[in-house]
Structure 1
Amino acid sequence: MIPVPQTAMVLAAGLGQRMRPLSLEKPKPLLEVDGRTMLDLVLDRLAEAGVKKAVVNTHYKAWMIESHLQLRRDVKITFSREEELLDTGGGVKKALPHLGKLPIFVVNSDLPWQNGATPALARLAAAFDEKKMDALLLLAKRENPRTRGFTNAEGDFFMEDGGRLRRLGTNTPRPYVFISAQIVKPEIFARVPEKVFSTNQVWDEAERNGRLYGLAHDGACYHVGTPADLVESNRLLREGGGW
């Protein structure tokens, strides 16, 4: 268990290609779910958890995201603009001077979630064990009816009884998918020599070292990847109050 991290990295630099044509006019994080942009929904969750500083990386239509966030006061926003796309891991590595040495949240900006009985970010902090973990990922069961919008039929991870994650060594579909939020030690990104790399690269290293863990989400989530997903997520919220 650790105190809730005071700093978060919010990934918002992607091109949103699967969201075209909607993303031709504005970056995907600024599209709205339930009357709020997906980026604001994520920042709302961070602020509710007690996060004080969020580093937001930008690239595609960066000025629109930066302008949109100028009025937020509940979280101090720092921008990390990427002149070239650095992928998810490279984006975090570039922002390391702003992130400090303590464990941080890293959160995607296009996968809003609904909390269960206890807020998901608080649950992550309560479960994070610095002595044995480099990364703790928020996961959901693929077959859960409250896990929507995921097209990866193979899933992402197997989770052992103690929460340790693995994904190699079997052809069986993996039952868990990553759903946007994680607590990580910033140092694991600093160890990667490449400039452009995926977060999967640091997860792979943590898995090899037995230091990659997961926590099952107890609420709903919706991977809003396409225009159809956006319509459906809003319909479900409008008609039923949740996913």
Structure 2
Amino acid sequence: MPGATQTDLVGVCLAAGAGSRLMPLTLERPKVLCPVGGRPLLSWALDALVGVVEEVVVNVHHHPAMMLEYLSWAVDTERAGGGPTMQFWRSFHGQRHERPVVSSLRSLGSLVGAARSPDVSGMPAGTGAPSPTIQVVASVEGPDALGTAGALANLARHLDGRSVLAVNADSVFDADLADVVAAWDGERPLVAHGGRDGFRPGVPVVASITPWSAIEALPQSPSGLFGHLWRDAHAEGRLQSVQLDSPVLDCGTPASYLAANLALFGGATSVEVGQVDATGAGDIARDNPGDTVEPHEGVTRSVLWSGARVGPGERLDGAVRTSDGRTVLVRPVPSAPW
């Protein structure tokens, strides 16, 4: 039966990756909690699933304490599209990031969908209509991260016959996942992707639907969906490919991460919700994630994380300044990807 209802599908935010290509930023936070457009990447993925499915499972491995605290904050807070304060992030300063020893499943509560950020470089604004909710469950993976295929197999008992709508939580996209679900034929695995050349290795995958029959056959060990399902299904004509005619912002490297932020703010400096200590210019609080703020006359084309400090007379261009004071320079400074 084409398409699916909200109860037929469980949403999964794939958020357990190490983010090794984004180092050294991921020494401080997991990749999906690095801010893009003023808020953590993960919040974009969660909001995309609200109203499409009734439940979302977020898989967790790297920085588990921070991830679980963020998810707990998200279900308890009127987010309005933003993120935690700088005090939240600074509370993890100096902590060792222990990895989970065993796998576990935790129900965290109900998350209210946030309106999208105001229109910036083609990304649509929220309508102001009441937001639906979604139940959030954390799937803590240990002792190893299970990859995109192992993560779904690990959830088999919880899924109990339901199929999965999975979203990669490490990119920002402008696609309505309800349209993706409506396009599904109800039988084959589906991959929704960006790009102009059809499905192939390396294509930017936005979302996928894995039917229960395929989940049952996946290994409960570290493994990927491409190698264990998509490649053979594509070769045999059993993969439903949906090409999305909308922007997809990859954030896998410092250069692409900076480019994504610049795209969402029209080339201006992106400031995470919270406060930036711009010594000599006063502290600046960002109440609205769509605001464009130049916190210091010497800061251009950069990203400032919550709690980042900018000294008097300091100049930053094409840089990422983190909450803990790390500075990552990107050369050449990238242009916006669209």
The TM-score, its normalising length taken from structure 2, stands at 0.57
Where relative contact order (Cα < 8 A, 6+ residues apart) is larger, the structure is: 1
Identity of aligned residues (%): 31
Deviations 1:143-168 (A, max 9, x none): 7xxxxxxxxxxx852xxxxxxxxx7x
- Counterpart CA distance in 2 for 1:103 and 1:239 is 38
Q: Name the CA shift for 1:233/1:10 in 2 (closer, same or farther; >3 Å).
A: same
Secondary structure of the corresponding residue to residue 78 of structure 1: strand
- 2:219 and 2:246 map into 1 onto residues whose CA distance is 37
Cα deviation for residue 232 of structure 1 reads 1.2
Question: What is the one-letter code of the residue matched to 1:184?
Answer: T
In the alignment, what sits opposite 1:218? 245
SS of residue in 2 equivalent to 1:112: strand
Given that 1:138 and 1:217 are in contact with CA atoms closer than 8 Å, whether structure 2 keeps it comes out as yes
Q: Which runs of 4+ in 1 moved over 6 A?
A: none
Counterpart in the other structure of 1:239: 266
2-structure distance, mates of 1:14, 1:95? 17
Aligned residue type for 1:80: S
- 1:33 aligns to 2:92 (yes or no): no
CA deviation map 1:184-211 (0-9, x unaligned): 2033122134522111111134335532
CA RMSD of aligned residues (A): 2.3
Partner of 1:82: 141
Say whether the 8 Å CA contact 1:105–1:182 is kept in structure 2.
Answer: yes
Q: Pick one of 161, 173, 185 that aligns with 1:113.
A: 173
Q: Name the residue aligned to 1:126.
A: 182
CA distance in 2, matches of 1:107, 1:207: 19
Q: Which stretch of the first structure deviates more once superposed, 22-31 or 70-79?
A: 70-79
1:1-243 alignment to 2 at 5 Å? 1-6=2-7, 7-47=10-50, 49-70=51-72, 71-72=74-75, 73-74=111-112, 75-83=134-142, 84-115=144-175, 119=176, 121-130=177-186, 133-142=187-196, 156-157=199-200, 177-193=203-219, 195-200=221-226, 201-239=228-266, 243=338
Determine the C-alpha separation between the residues in 2 that align with 1:51 and 1:194. Answer: 24
TM-score calculated relative to the size of structure 1: 0.78
Unaligned runs of 5+ in 1: 144-154, 158-166, 168-175
Distance verdict in 2 for CA 1:5–1:206, change over 3 Å: farther
| 1:2 alignment partner AA | G
Task: Report the counterpart of residue 150 of structure 1 in structure 2.
Answer: none
CA distance in structure 1 between the aligned counterparts of 2:174 and 2:219, rounded to whole angstroms? 36
Q: What letter corresponds to residue 192 of structure 2 in structure 1?
A: L
Distance in 2 between the 1:190 and 1:208 partners?
Answer: 21
- Alignment gaps of 5+ in structure 2: 76-110, 113-133, 268-289, 291-335
Question: Which whole-Å CA distance do the structure 2 matches of 1:215 and 1:92 have between them?
Answer: 21
Alignment-mate amino acid for residue 261 of structure 2: N
